[in-house]
Copies of this chain bind each other. A is one copy, B any other.
Amino acid sequence: MDVTTIELDQVLRQGGYRATSPRRIVWDALRRAAGHVTVEELAAEVGDEVDLASIYRALAVFEELGLARMSRLGDGDAGRWEPAHPDEHFHLVCTECGDVDHHIGSLVAQIRDHLDEGHGFQTDNVELVVNGRCRRCRS
């Protein structure tokens, strides 16, 4: 699923929300970003076109519609946003160089299956953040 700006309007309306200019602008900025952007970075990207409060509100709507996703990659870090990826994925955070690697694999599906079968737990959402040292920094 690649939600373009045009499709965004439909998804919003189907969810009972209005298709507005600020939401389109925030969505475009989020897609344009390489991922893992803070709200502040998004604000810088959209300049003064959209108010900070409206960015927060837009992202909350996107999250509810399953369009976007927030993670906290460090202890006291601010929330970082990215378009929701259809494939389950998780984040490798290098504590040395700060690099964040997107990792798509079967691990999340394995976790889901394991919990469903063994524990009767119906998984909605898996938040997996792995801290460590990446290959380059391992020396």
Residues of A within 8 A of B (CB): 63, 70, 72, 75, 79, 92, 95, 101, 103, 105, 107, 110-111, 114-115, 119-135, 138
Contacts of A123 in B (CB 8 A): 130-132
**Sample (22) of A-B pairs whose CB atoms are under 8 Å apart:** A63-B75, A70-B75, A92-B121, A95-B124, A103-B119, A105-B114, A110-B110, A111-B130, A115-B130, A119-B135, A120-B134, A120-B135, A121-B130, A123-B130, A123-B131, A123-B132, A125-B130, A125-B132, A126-B129, A126-B130, A127-B130, A127-B131
Oligomeric state, in copies: 2
Contacts of A134 in B (CB 8 A): 120-121
